[in-house]
Structure 1
Amino acid sequence: MENQISELVLHIGSFDLELPQSILVWFGLCIGFTIFFIVAGKKIEKADPSKAPKGIVYISEECYNLVMWIVKGNLKETTMHYLPVFGTLTLMMAASNLIGLLGLQNPTSNVSFNATLAVCAFIMIQYHGIKKAGVIARLKELCEPMFFLFPLNVIGEIAIPLSLTMRLFGNILAGTIITMLVYTLIKLLLPVGVIGLIATPFLHAYFDIFSGLIQTYIFFTLASFFLGQQVAGEE
């Protein structure tokens, strides 16, 4: 673990750009998923629809069904329009939450990374809210049901990216810290500490798999819900 690259420092003139391991891992995931989507797209184009899908085509189909299950109930008739964005980010966030199983730092344990995703979702929500009915209508919406509630409604809107950021950051970072402390304790108590390795698979199963996937589900369920309020029609 000590030999891992914790950060990459780029020297640009007198300016130093520090890239922590979490961001480097995200860049790696971006490259990996780009290759996956290109290969999967070509395979799907050549696939015979009369035969059962297999291999990468089957994996792509299951990923599609998973993302649809998460966002379709909120985005309704606009689901297909936003599926590329939500589909890509959902799969990448799930992978980034699971990357801890390989001993790498989860990108979502970096609060600035989570804030970037949350702010992008917030801007998308507000943009479509204004695009749908105009600035005046959006301001009137923030004054409902009483005009003097406008400050509270504004605070409620600002709370969206804050809650998305801190919920994801807190849960993923907590899992990373607890797992690290357990491994540190095992190392300090060697050779007796080896017994503690019995518990580590359960810690990874909960924090890296269960909690990671649940937090991905919650993040994009909430993001698609708030967006759906602006773009989806009433049933």
Structure 2
Amino acid sequence: MPSISALEIHVGSFTLEIQQSILVWLILCVVFATFFIVAGKKIERQDPSKASKGIVYISEEALNLVLFVIKGNLRETTKKYIPLFGTLILMMIASNLIGLIGLQNPTSNVSFNATLAITMWLMIQGNAIKKGGLIARLKELTEPMVILTPLNIIGEMALPISLTMRLFGNILAGSIITMLVYTLIKALMPWGVLGLSATPFLHMYFDIFSGVIQTYIFFTLASFNLGQQVAEEE
């Protein structure tokens, strides 16, 4: 059975096409929402005198992972941003790893990555304005010399572009290389079956290692830039 590459919704002469990557993300939203609701109820009933197990233990380890990524950058404001960053970090890891079961990674869609990167950027800029006001924020762009203002503006705009393209390029490249290898194996059958011995290593690197490390880089950079605006200077 051929895989569904996109879902088309027809309303009169209007056609809405939803790519598989976005459908996968929507499914992950439902899965994680259900997980968080169930985990929250389990945690409320957890006896603190007993060792955690099951979904409570998984939740604790997930929290430790999130803290590892963002706490050093957000410092005393970490607790405030755990719900946002925690949800996105766990969902991005899942979306990067979902290629292991043959589905399209949401992060291989540049529109998805750009939306997430712009959301992070707007949050950073919003907090910068909230901290000192719009005039103070604009003044920051003229430091240390007015002549450097265009470069400062380019530097600010580079963050969402960098976050988008780094994530998109690495995840898409991994998907393409893996697809090409499987296509070559199929073309060289029956001798191509020998190439299957190398595919686990491809998935270990492109789907697991690269997926996890790109999530770490994305949210480390995002939390670092946010921390510059919301956390107290050390």
Shared fold per TM-score greater than 0.5: yes
What corresponds to 1:167 in structure 2? 166
| Secondary structure, counterpart of 1:138 in structure 2 | helix
Q: 2:83 aligned with 1:84, yes or no?
A: yes
Identity of matched residues, %: 74
How many positions carry a matched residue from both structures?
A: 234
Deviations 1:182-233 (A, max 9, x none): 0000000100000000000000000000000000000000000000001111
Q: TM-score, normalised by structure 2?
A: 0.99
Deviations 1:14-36 (A, max 9, x none): 21110111001001100000000
Counterpart mapping for 1:60-209 below 5 A:
60-209=59-208
Distance 2:222 2:70 in 1: 9
What corresponds to 2:46 in structure 1? 47
Q: CA RMSD in A?
A: 0.6
Amino acid at match of 2:172: L
Amino acid at match of 1:51: K
Amino acid at match of 2:56: V
Distance 1:222 1:181 in 2: 31
Amino acid at match of 1:40: A
Deviations 1:120-154 (A, max 9, x none): 00000000000000011101111111111111000
What corresponds to 1:213 in structure 2? 212
Distance 1:208 1:48 in 2: 37
| Secondary structure, counterpart of 1:11 in structure 2 | strand
Give, in angstroms, the shift of residue 66 of structure 1.
Answer: 0.5
What corresponds to 1:25 in structure 2? 24
Deviations 1:80-106 (A, max 9, x none): 101100000000000000000000000
Q: Which runs of 4+ in 1 moved over 6 A?
A: none
Give, in angstroms, the shift of residue 13 of structure 1.
Answer: 2.4
Distance 1:50 1:15 in 2: 59
